[in-house]
């Protein structure tokens, strides 16, 4: 059989390229020490390797999150340990002030030290990690606390905050004949005040607007408050009405106290937004007629009630288009898209979640525990209270995906409840408006102060702290301190402020009361410190688990992707020999000619 030279050449070339290609593949594996260098090497193995790489990338991100959380919590731990040491020191100073052996000058000298420790507590409350406030909720950019002045009466009950600044606490006595009374909002009330512990007094008066100006410090008393008067010769603070102005701190960060507004009167064009931490329901009414926010009159009156029977009148500044009505637990910001505030009455419902409305003007509130925003959409036009059920959809991812086909019962009387993840949306009529247009939307928007990071699939840990729950103080809006009257002794800044005032005013009994408050507040603070420590421990466990997972995933990926070095070197040597053999045999045959046979 005759073989042409062309066929010989093609065969030689194929063998040469084949052995060379295999040799190059083995060289590439030797240099990378990887069995799979491109998808064609092992398609199935490549898919598995890519899955492992994705898993390892996620583990690396989780460990980075753990490292960030450790930084936040370690700093919080250190700051809180320093705070605990200061509280221990303050308890010792309060105990000294509560003893009968200390003189007025001794207590005054101690007050200087307590004031410095108070300022240090505020600084610790404003601790920052990488420029972000760790005790301000999600308001990272600003300080969590700001020094201020609080006002409380002879029974220790808060009357809100004073404006201005003072380096000493101030005591106010209301002057009049023994046993007589006066009502704020009526004729001017005589008083006197002292900023040196009662050594010297300055005469003053409370105007008909309830304002008391003390030269750089002023306060506004609630209208209709009844004051017991006593003569200027009286120095017994258990007789008559007295006020004390002392240092405190205002919490400027986020909180998680939920509240929603339910309107009972007024135009549907009016909206009210609760500000602050409402711990109980508050009923609010605007009593001045013809109020247009931001225009006229310059001020107006409103009143609030905690029980529906006893009402307190307050004066509201109307210099902006969103005036704030003060209440004990927070302010309520009101605005309108047109018209005035005539007939506006509503209840701030503590514990309910606020709801934003689009395309509707009815009463709406969320009830339940919501981890984030929930959007609710009415699919067909309906009327609240018609007795006819209507359909709705909801979304938990900002409207990207909707779960539809849900039906809400619609009783002829009462409220309509729409079940959603985390709780329910409760709807009722407002001012005669009960219609819901097709496509009307509601957004259940819970207050969220906690900043969480994911440390494993579906597992989160809170890395920041809510300062008001740790240190107390006053909310930015409202007259009641954090924790309110039910657990006011947990409030560190209120307890320390009262201790300062007691020492500066030579009040032995006040020092004893402050000591008891400091003991309670430190117990609460220790619980908060334990919470931080528990989260730190959880991070240590999570980091250990992630480290083990990474090692396991890396090993499994290596078994698929990496080359067996001993086998690879043997194959490489064999392929090198094969390649040289092909080259030599091809060269020998191609050099042969007819002369070789002659």
Provide mean pLDDT across the span 251-269.
90
360 domain residue, yes or no: yes
Residue length of the chain? 598
pLDDT of residue 582: 66
- In this predicted structure, the answer to whether residue 1 has a pLDDT above a threshold of 50 is no
Does residue 164 belong to any structural domain of this protein? no
Query: Which range of residues forms the domain containing residue 377?
Result: 354-446
Distances from the Cα of 77 to the Cα of 83, 92, 411, 506, angstroms: 10, 23, 52, 35
Query: Would you say residue 562 has pLDDT above 70?
Result: no
Average pLDDT over the chain, rounded to whole?
Answer: 87
Q: Which residues are paired to 17 by β-bridges? A: none
Whether pLDDT at 568 is above 70: no
Q: How far is CA 76 from CA 70, 83, 410, in A?
A: 10, 10, 49
- Range with lowest mean pLDDT among 10-14, 96-100, 418-422: 10-14
pLDDT at 37: 65
Q: What pLDDT score does 489 carry?
A: 80
Find the Cα–Cα–Cα–Cα dihedral 319, 322, 324, 330, rounded to 10°. Answer: -150
Closest Cα partner for 170 from 248, 249, 250, 246? 246
Residues 210, 221: Cα–Cα separation, whole Å: 5
Q: For position 255, what pLDDT does the model report?
A: 84
Distance between CA atoms of 139 and 559, rounded to whole angstroms?
Answer: 48
For 217-258, how does the pLDDT look when each residue is reduced to its tens digit (9 = 90+)? Answer: 999 888 888 999 999 999 888 899 999 999 999 999 888 889
Distance, CA of 513 to CA of 504 (rounded, Å): 15
Q: How far is the C-alpha of 168 from the C-alpha of 504, rounded, in Å?
A: 7
In degrees and rounded to multiples of 5, residue 223 shows phi and psi of -65, 150
- What pLDDT is attached to residue 105? 92
**Residue 131: pLDDT over 80:** yes
Would you state the pLDDT for residue 173?
Answer: 96
Structural domains in the chain (count): 1
Decide if 326 is inside a domain. no
Q: Is 408 inside any structural domain? A: yes
Q: Which two tokens stand for residue 594?
A: 């007819």
The predicted-structure confidence for 23-33, as pLDDT tens digits, reads as follows: 666 666 666 66
Instruction: Reduce the DSSP state of residue 286 to 3 states and report it.
Output: strand
Q: Give the pLDDT score at 100.
A: 86
Alpha-carbon gap, residue 188 to 182, rounded angstroms: 9
Structure confidence at residue 487 (pLDDT):
56
The runs of H, that is alpha helices, within 176-271 are none
Q: At what angle do helices 5-32 and 565-590 cross, to 10 degrees?
A: 160
**Number of helices and strands in the chain (H, E):** 7, 33
- CA separation for the pair 207, 315 (Å, rounded): 13
How does strand 474-475 pair with strand 242-251? parallel
37 in any annotated domain: no
Cα distance between residue 437 and residue 440, in whole Å: 6
CA 556 to CA 576: how far, in whole Å?
31
Taking phi first (over 0 means left), then psi (-120 to 50 degrees means alpha), and beta for anything else, what does residue 161 get?
beta
pLDDT category at 592 given cuts 50, 70, 90 is low
Largest CA distance in the chain: 151
Cα gap 105→95, rounded to integer Å: 16
Residues 6+ apart with CB under 8 A from 407: 389, 390, 391, 392
- Cα dihedral angle (115, 116, 119, 120), rounded to 10 degrees? -140
Q: Which residues of 474-512 are buried (b: 16+ CB within 10 A; e: fewer)?
A: bbbbbbbbbbbeeebbbbbbbbbbbbbbbbbbbbeebbb
CA pair distance 367, 260, nearest whole angstrom: 10
Answer yes or no: is 334 within a domain: no
What pLDDT, on a 0 to 100 scale, did the predictor assign at position 538?
Answer: 94
Bond preceding residue 297 cis, omega within 30 of 0: yes
How far CA 310 is from CA of 160, 313, 539, in Å, comes to: 18, 10, 50
Mean pLDDT to the nearest integer, 270-277: 89
Task: Specify the DSSP class assigned to residue 312.
Answer: E
Q: Please write the tens of the pLDDT for every residue from 519-546.
A: 999 999 999 999 999 999 999 999 999 9
Supply 490's token pair. 């947990």
Bridge partners (DSSP) of residue 260 are: 349
Give, in degrees to the nearest 5, the angle at Cα 157 between 147 and 524.
65
Work out the pLDDT band at 448, boundaries 50, 70, 90.
confident
Unique residue bearing structure tokens 């040289």: 580
Q: Within 10 Å of residue 44's Cβ, how many Cβ atoms?
A: 9
Look at residue 395 in the predicted model and tell me its pLDDT.
Answer: 96
Residue 403 resides in a domain: yes
Q: Is 49 buried (19+), middle (13-18) or exposed (0-12) by CB count in 10 A? A: buried
Report the pLDDT averaged over residues 194-212: 92
Tally of CB atoms within 10 A around 362: 21
User: Which residues lie closer than 8 Å to 575 by C-beta, 6 or more apart?
Assistant: 19, 22, 23, 26
Handedness of CA 114, 119, 123, 125 (dihedral sign): positive
pLDDT of 560: 72
pLDDT band at residue 117 using 50, 70 and 90 as cut-offs: very high
CA pair distance 595, 552, nearest whole angstrom: 68
H-type alpha helices, 98-142: 104-125
Please give the C-alpha separations between residue 495 and each of 117, 170, 226, 518, 587, in angstroms, as whole numbers. Answer: 13, 16, 26, 6, 100
The crossing angle, in degrees rounded to 10, of helices 104-125 and 43-97 is 170
CA distance 471 to 453: 24
- Residue the block writes with tokens 């207050």: 447
Q: Are 209 and 219 in contact (CB under 8 A)?
A: no
249-274: average pLDDT:
91
Q: What is the pLDDT of residues 18-55, one digit of tens each?
A: 676 666 666 666 666 676 666 666 677 677 877 877 88
Q: Global pTM?
A: 0.81
Q: Which residue has the higher pLDDT, 296 or 578?
A: 296
- Phi-psi category of residue 60: left, alpha or beta, with phi > 0 → left and psi -120 to 50 → alpha: alpha
In a domain, 385, yes or no: yes
């Amino acid at each position: 059989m005759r073989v042409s030279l062309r066929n010989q050449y093609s065969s030689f070339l194929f063998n040469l390229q084949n052995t060379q290609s295999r040799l190059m593949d083995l060289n590439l594996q030797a240099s990378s020490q990887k069995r799979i260098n491109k998808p064609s090497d092992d398609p199935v193995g490549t898919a598995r390797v890519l899955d492992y790489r994705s898993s390892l990338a996620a583990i690396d991100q989780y460990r980075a999150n753990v490292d960030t959380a450790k930084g936040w919590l370690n700093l919080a731990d250190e700051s809180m340990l320093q705070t605990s040491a200061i509280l221990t020191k303050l308890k010792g100073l309060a105990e000294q002030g509560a003893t009968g052996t200390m003189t007025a000058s001794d207590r005054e000298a101690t007050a200087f030290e307590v004031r410095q420790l108070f300022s240090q507590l505020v600084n610790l409350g404003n601790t920052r990690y990488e420029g972000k406030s760790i005790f301000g909720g999600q308001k990272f950019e600003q300080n969590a606390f700001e020094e201020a002045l609080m006002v409380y009466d002879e029974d220790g009950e808060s009357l809100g905050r004073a404006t201005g600044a003072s380096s000493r606490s101030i005591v106010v006595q209301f002057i009049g004949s023994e046993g007589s009374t006066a009502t704020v909002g009526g004729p001017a009330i005589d008083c006197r005040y002292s900023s040196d512990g009662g050594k010297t007094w300055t005469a003053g008066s409370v105007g008909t607007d309830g304002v008391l100006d003390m030269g750089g410090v002023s306060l506004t008393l609630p209208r209709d408050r009844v004051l017991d008067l006593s003569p200027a010769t009286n120095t017994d603070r258990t007789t008559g009405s007295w006020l004390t102005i002392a240092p405190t701190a205002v919490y400027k960060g986020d909180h998680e106290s939920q509240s929603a507004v339910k309107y009972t009167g007024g135009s549907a064009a009016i909206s009210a937004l609760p500000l602050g931490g409402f711990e109980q329901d508050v009923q609010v009414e605007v009593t001045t007629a013809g109020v247009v926010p931001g225009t006229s009159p310059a001020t107006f009156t409103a009143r609030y009630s905690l029980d529906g029977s006893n009402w307190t009148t307050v004066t509201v500044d109307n210099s902006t288009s969103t005036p704030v009505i003060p209440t004990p637990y927070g302010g309520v910001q009101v605005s309108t898209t047109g018209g005035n505030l005539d007939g506006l009455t509503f209840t701030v419902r503590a514990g309910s979640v606020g709801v934003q409305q689009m395309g509707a003007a009815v009463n709406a509130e969320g009830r339940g525990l919501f981890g984030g925003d929930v959007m609710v959409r009415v699919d067909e036009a309906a009327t609240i209270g018609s007795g006819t059920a209507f359909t709705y959809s909801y979304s938990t991812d900002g409207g990207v995906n909707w779960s539809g086909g849900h039906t809400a019962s619609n009783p002829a009387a009462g409220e309509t409840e729409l079940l959603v993840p985390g709780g329910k949306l409760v709807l009722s009529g407002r001012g005669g408006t009960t219609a819901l247009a097709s496509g009307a939307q509601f957004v259940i928007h819970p207050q969220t102060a906690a900043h969480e990071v994911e440390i494993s699939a579906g597992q989160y840990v809170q890395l920041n702290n809510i300062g008001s729950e740790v240190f107390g103080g006053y909310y930015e809006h409202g007259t009641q301190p954090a924790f309110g009257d039910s657990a006011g002794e947990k409030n560190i800044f209120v307890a320390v402020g009262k201790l300062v005032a007691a020492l500066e005013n030579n009040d032995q009994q006040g020092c004893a009361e402050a000591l008891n408050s400091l003991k309670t507040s430190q117990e609460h603070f220790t619980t908060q410190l334990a919470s931080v420590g528990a989260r730190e421990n959880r991070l240590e466990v999570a980091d250990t688990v992630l480290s083990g997972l990474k090692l396991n995933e890396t090993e499994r990926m290596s078994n698929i992707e990496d080359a067996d070095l001993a086998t690879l070197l043997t194959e490489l040597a064999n392929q090198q020999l094969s390649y040289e053999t092909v080259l030599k045999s091809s060269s020998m045959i191609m050099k042969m000619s007819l002369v070789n046979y002659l």
